[in-house]
């Protein structure tokens, strides 16, 4: 009976010990799993942090577009009229001289619509916007003066340029600012300098040759030209002396109506007809 009780007690102790061991192992396993999960979670958070960090570099990719927009944009407007047709022109240009975008508006035209040959023609760019004209002072103006002796002109802030023309005709100038599109300025007409105001007079309408001969005289006066008068060319039926001419009549009934051509160095030519002079005999 004692043996039976001892056996029962021993068996109970053995079972309790086994149960205790199982609980300890489960707690140990549970602790390991917890550590693994925390470590894994930490790894995921670290990876996520790296992703966020790399995505934060994306805005720096706009630095190139920022550099492009830092170039100044220059726009010039002009009206040109060729052969009676008005055409708007514009020019777009870029300049690195300013960190901000700027728009320049203006017109391009000759100072005078018409000049005579050998005179100077001045082409002018007139800025209308912005009001501060110094904005374009650092920008390069490049001119092409078609048909002129000078041909071209350029310089920073060069808003006007001049040229001379060897031939008559209609001419234009072209302008680009800071390397932008070329605009066409309004046209210029080049003509020869006109000669005006000439008047030819005779000393008398008749010449008396009763004594065997009579002298007639003519004179040209009042001629005006912007470039001055370079020559007087009389017809061959009289004897010329610059602005005067004469003829000796010897017989009654003789009659002469001389002409004179007036010219200047600009190529202008004006022909004038002088009064007719007739020879008579007063004693008949």
pLDDT tens column, 26-63: 333 333 333 333 333 333 333 333 323 333 332 333 33
- Closest by CA position to 125, among listed 91, 149, 168: 91
Position of tokens 């001379």? 164
pTM of the predicted structure, to 2 decimals: 0.53
Under 8 Å between Cβ of 278 and 206: yes
Beta strands 120-129; 160-164: pairing state: antiparallel
Average pLDDT over residues 191-197: 92
Q: Whole-number mean pLDDT of the chain? A: 73
- Above pLDDT 70, what percent of the chain? 64
Least confident of 84-88, 158-162, 238-242: 84-88
Task: Answer with the residue of higher pLDDT: 175 or 267.
Answer: 175
Residues with Cβ within 8 Å of residue 158, at least 6 apart in sequence: 140, 141, 143
Q: What are the start-end ranges of the E strands in 59-213?
A: 72-82, 85-95, 105-110, 114-116, 120-129, 140-145, 152-156, 160-164, 169-171, 173-177, 183-184, 188-191, 195-196, 199-202, 206-208
Alpha helices in 59-152 (DSSP H): 63-69
| pLDDT tens-place string over residues 198-243 | 999 999 999 999 999 999 999 999 999 988 899 999 999 999 999 9
For 53, the token pair is 């960090």
Task: Answer with the residue of higher pLDDT: 21 or 68.
Answer: 21
Under 8 Å between Cβ of 238 and 218: yes
Average pLDDT over residues 130-148: 88
CA dist 24 to 15, 28, 59, Å?
14, 6, 55
Distance between CA atoms of 204 and 236, rounded to whole angstroms?
A: 20
Looking at residue 70, what is its pLDDT? Answer: 26
Cis peptide before 130 (omega within 30 of 0): yes
- Above pLDDT 90, what percent of the chain? 46
């Amino acid at each position: 009976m004692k043996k039976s009780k001892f056996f029962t007690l021993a068996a109970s102790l053995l079972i309790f010990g086994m149960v205790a061991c199982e609980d300890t192992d489960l707690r140990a396993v549970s602790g390991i799993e917890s550590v693994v999960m925390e470590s894994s979670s930490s790894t995921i958070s670290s990876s996520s942090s790296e992703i966020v960090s790399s995505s934060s570099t994306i805005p720096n990719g706009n630095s190139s577009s920022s550099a492009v927009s830092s170039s100044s944009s220059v726009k010039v407007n002009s009206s040109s009229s060729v052969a009676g047709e008005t055409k708007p022109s514009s020019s777009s240009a870029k300049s690195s001289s300013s960190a901000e975008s700027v728009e320049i508006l203006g017109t391009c035209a000759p100072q005078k619509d018409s000049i005579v040959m050998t005179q100077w023609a001045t082409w002018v760019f007139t800025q209308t916007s912005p009001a501060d004209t110094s904005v374009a002072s650092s920008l390069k103006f490049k001119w092409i003066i078609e048909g002129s002796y000078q041909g071209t002109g350029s310089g920073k802030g060069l808003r006007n340029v001049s040229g001379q023309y060897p031939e008559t005709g209609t001419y234009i100038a072209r302008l680009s600012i800071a390397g932008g599109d070329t605009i066409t300025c309004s046209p210029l007409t080049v003509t020869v300098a006109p000669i005006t105001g000439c008047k030819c007079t005779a000393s008398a309408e008749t010449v008396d040759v009763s004594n065997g001969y009579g002298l007639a005289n003519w004179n040209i006066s009042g001629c005006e030209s912007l470039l001055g008068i370079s020559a007087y060319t009389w017809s061959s039926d009289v004897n010329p002396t610059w602005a005067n001419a004469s003829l000796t009549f010897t017989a009654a009934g003789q009659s002469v109506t001389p002409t004179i051509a007036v010219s200047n160095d600009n190529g202008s030519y004006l022909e004038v007809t002088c009064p007719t002079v007739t020879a008579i005999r007063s004693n008949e």
